[in-house]
Amino acid sequence: MPLILERLDQQISEAFSQWNLLTTLLALAIAGFIAYPFLFSEEPDTHPLLLARQSVASPVRRKSESAVYRAPEIPHGYPLKSGLNVRDEGEPKWKSGRDGDLRDIWREVMRGGKTDADGKEVPAGLIMSVFGKDEPEEHDLEQLNWQIDVMGRWLSGRKGACKRVATYLPNSVEYLIAIFACAFWGDETTPILLPFNLPHAKVYELLRETKADTVIAAAGSLPLEELSTQLRGSVHTVIEVVEATSQHMDWGGTPKAVQGKLTVEAWHVILRDQGEWEKVELPKYSKTDPKKSVVAVYQPSDAMKDATITTFTSANIIAGVAGLLNSLPLRQRLSPADLVLPADSFNSSYTLCWTLAALYTHTSLAITSVAGSGVEFATVSRSVSPTVVISSAATLAGLHEKETSGITSKVQKFGLFSQEQTLAAGRMPVDTYLWKFLAPSASNTAPGKLRLILTSSLLARNGKLEAPVLTSTMLSDLRIFTRSRIVYALTSPKVAGMITASNVFDYRRTDGEGAAKMGSPVGCLEIKLAGSSDTEVGQAEPTGELVVTGPSVVGGEVRTGGRCTIGSDGCLSVV
């Protein structure tokens, strides 16, 4: 035993006799490398098992059909989400609320700043208009409420002449006022949402197909004389929305060229004729009130192609809004602390339903007239700093192309690689000084408060995704460039809101040219795949035609024609 101790002592002495500064640095580096994961360990943003099973399949299926897939929070056997659970004043808390309609969304907006039944103050959201580089204009909610009342009475007071009101406007408060005015007044007044900036001939064609009798249009966007000739006998009333900088001009009365053919009024003149605005109370809920529909027109980017005209019932719209509200995890949902910027047109049911969801949750809303498919990301968010942006896939594809073109040096590519490793570990990258130095110029000018981007791709009538689509690699890069989480959804002209959406914490990356995974179904619908071969739809990862069922679907069920597959993680992919 003494000999063993002596040898050990001798070996230790020899080791330390050769110790120097380099040895010390190496020992510290090895110790730090071993200790770092224990001292500074970071958990992923969500548990990996939650990403491994994002939808729930039914225990049985029909022949030539796959199992039915639902959102995890809506077990099979329970009803799908169909409404907002609206409780009217004086109703007991234990009683379940009604589904509600468009009017209940605006009623909830007007509750902002007041005290609820529990004595708590209801937060009040802001509604503002963005005009280029100018300061955003904040709107008084009471004044907007008065405008809804005035325009609703004006449309419904024309002896039933204004029944189908087409809105040909860019995104604006007038656009939303027109929708709510039709919802509150008139037994048969129906808003028709047309895409903006179309060739005149296409607009006339859509007005004929939708049987519009009234048009609310931006001043100068449609030639009145040509409109009266092309649509004589159908459209008889035109309301022009004039920019504030041009309202000092004489806009009153019908031009001589169209007298006897059209009645032309200016939006601001109708309001001005009512005198000074005042606080008004819109009609209260009644069981006998008609629930209005909303007609949405989807026009492909090629104006020569046929448009898809969809009539959404009030139940479809409200179910779509309810599904969106519950599609995000609790800590990522819209709240009064957010500022939502719709960067796509309101005639898209996806953008409209998210906007209505923002209004219902008292989230502040910034509306810009330059919103649309493919608009430049920096342009649409120039004078505001939104926390949530509702964007088209074309806009994000353009942003990705611009950002990646700015990464040229090997140092920048290494910086991007390090950020990708953080995403692969399940965490959002931290906005470090090193990345700010290495990032391309466009990333440094992005809104600093942005936390969430909501985007979608539409499944067209031919069963293909509307171009451009976002790949998994593009979404991964965009999360790094914008420093925000991204939800990628699948939409259809026949479904209010969306069909499926990716998990907000799903940062997994799959290399390839195909579209990224579209995630799991929302709580207001369920999906299944149908096919002629039972083999394809009966396997562990079924493939077939996507069939959507639920209260947010027009007619209750729609066969989309799109060929899709559902992976082992319950996520839908378009083949």
**pLDDT tens-place string over residues 340-381:** 999 999 999 999 999 999 999 999 999 999 998 888 888 888
Answer whether residue 17 shows pLDDT above 90.
no
Task: Name the pLDDT band for 410 (thresholds 50, 70, 90).
Answer: confident
295 and 380 together in one domain: no
What is the spatial distance between Cα 547 and Cα 526, in angstroms, rounded to a whole number? 9
Q: What's 24's DSSP letter?
A: H
Kindly report the CATH number assigned to the domain that includes residue 252: 3.40.50.980
221 and 319 together in one domain: no
Give the sign of the dihedral formed by CA 543, CA 546, CA 550, CA 555. Answer: negative
305 C-beta neighbours (distance < 10 Å), count: 12
What is the spatial distance between Cα 509 and Cα 502, in angstroms, rounded to a whole number? 12
* Exposure b/e, 185-213, CB count within 10 A at least 16 = b: bbeebbbbbbbbebeeeebbbbbeebebb
CA within 13 Å, CB half, 308: 19
What is the spatial distance between Cα 166 and Cα 219, in angstroms, rounded to a whole number? 14
Residue ending a domain, among 312, 331, 348, is 312
Indicate the angle between helix axes 472-482 and 393-405, nearest 10 degrees: 70
Distance of alpha carbon 312 from the chain centroid: 17
Task: Name the pLDDT band for 97 (thresholds 50, 70, 90).
Answer: confident
pLDDT for the residue numbered 159: 61
Q: Is residue 131 part of a domain?
A: no
450 and 380 together in one domain: yes
* Most confident among 28-37, 200-209, 374-383 (mean pLDDT): 200-209
Q: What integer is the mean pLDDT of 58-71? A: 94
* Domain that residue 262 falls in: 139-312
Q: Is residue 7 part of a domain?
A: no
pLDDT for the residue numbered 41: 62
Structure tokens that stand for 355 in this block: 């906007």
Answer whether residue 436 shows pLDDT above 70.
no
Give the sign of the dihedral formed by CA 40, CA 44, CA 47, CA 53. Answer: negative
Answer whether residue 443 shows pLDDT above 60.
no
Per cent of the chain over pLDDT 70 is 94
Cβ atoms of residues 323 and 497 within 8 Å: yes
Per cent of the chain over pLDDT 90 is 59
417 and 294 together in one domain: no
Kindly report the CATH number assigned to the domain that includes residue 517: 3.40.50.12780
Which is nearest to 430 in space by CA: 377, 396, 480, 468?
Answer: 480
Which is nearest to 102 in space by CA: 128, 88, 83?
Answer: 83
Q: What integer is the mean pLDDT of 274-289? A: 87
481 and 558 together in one domain: yes
Q: What integer is the mean pLDDT of 493-501? A: 96
What is the spatial distance between Cα 255 and Cα 190, in angstroms, rounded to a whole number? 27
Q: Is residue 71 part of a domain?
A: yes
What is the spatial distance between Cα 95 and Cα 241, in angstroms, rounded to a whole number? 44
Q: Which residue has the tokens 């430049």?
A: 376
Cβ atoms of residues 495 and 43 within 8 Å: no
How would DSSP label each residue in 522-573? Answer: -TT-EEEEE-S-HHHHHSSS-EEEEEEESTTBTTSEEEEEEEEEE-TTS-EE
Max distance between CA atoms of the chain, in angstroms, equals 121
- How high is the mean pLDDT of the chain? 89
Give the sign of the dihedral formed by CA 203, CA 204, CA 210, CA 212. Answer: positive
Structure tokens that stand for 422 in this block: 């953080």
Q: Is residue 513 part of a domain?
A: yes
CA dist 200 → 107, 226, 304, 374 (Å): 37, 9, 12, 21
Q: What integer is the mean pLDDT of 91-102? A: 85
Of the two residues 200 and 12, the one the predictor is more confident about is 200
305 and 365 together in one domain: no
pLDDT in tens, 244-270: 878 777 777 778 878 888 889 999 999
24 C-beta neighbours (distance < 10 Å), count: 10
Task: Name the pLDDT band for 445 (thresholds 50, 70, 90).
Answer: very low
Number of folded domains in the chain? 2
What is the spatial distance between Cα 342 and Cα 357, in angstroms, rounded to a whole number? 12
Residue ending a domain, among 312, 339, 369, is 312
Q: What are the residues whose beta carbons fall under 8 Å from the beta carbon of 205, sequence distance 6 or more?
A: none
Cβ atoms of residues 349 and 320 within 8 Å: yes
Q: Is residue 301 part of a domain?
A: yes
Do the strands 364-368 and 526-530 form a parallel or antiparallel pair, or are they unpaired? unpaired
367 and 406 together in one domain: yes
pLDDT for the residue numbered 106: 96
Task: Give the ranges where 18-62 is alpha helix by DSSP (H).
Answer: 21-39, 48-52
Of the two residues 80 and 435, the one the predictor is more confident about is 80
pLDDT for the residue numbered 431: 65
pLDDT for the residue numbered 568: 93
Of the two residues 240 and 449, the one the predictor is more confident about is 240
3-state SS of 351-404 is: HHHHHHHHHHCCCEEEEECCCCCCCCHHHHCCCCCCCEEEEEHHHHHHHHHHHH
pLDDT for the residue numbered 440: 55
pLDDT for the residue numbered 571: 95
> Would you give the end-to-end CA distance of the chain in angstroms?
73
Answer whether residue 448 shows pLDDT above 60.
no
How would DSSP label each residue in 210-226? Answer: TT-SEEEEETTSS-HHH
Burial of 297 (0-12, 13-18, 19+ CB in 10 A): buried
216 and 268 together in one domain: yes
pLDDT in tens, 209-249: 999 999 999 998 999 999 999 988 899 999 999 988 787 77
179 and 240 together in one domain: yes
Strand ranges across the sheet with 526-530: 56-57, 69-70, 526-530, 543-549, 557-566, 572-574
For the ranges 72-81, 97-106, 128-137, the lowest mean pLDDT is seen at: 128-137
Q: Is residue 104 part of a domain?
A: no
For the ranges 35-39, 51-55, 100-104, 567-571, the lowest mean pLDDT is seen at: 35-39
231 and 343 together in one domain: no
Q: Is residue 211 part of a domain?
A: yes
Residue 547 has phi, psi (to 5 degrees) of -120, 130
Q: Is residue 330 part of a domain?
A: yes
Q: What's 289's DSSP letter?
A: S
Indicate the angle between helix axes 102-110 and 314-325, nearest 10 degrees: 50
167 and 289 together in one domain: yes
Residue ending a domain, among 268, 292, 312, is 312
What is the spatial distance between Cα 451 and Cα 456, in angstroms, rounded to a whole number? 17
Structure tokens that stand for 214 in this block: 């009234």
Task: Give the ranges where 280-348 is alpha helix by DSSP (H).
Answer: 314-325
**pTM of the predicted protein model:** 0.90
504 C-beta neighbours (distance < 10 Å), count: 21
For the ranges 15-19, 31-35, 285-289, 450-454, the lowest mean pLDDT is seen at: 15-19
414 and 545 together in one domain: yes
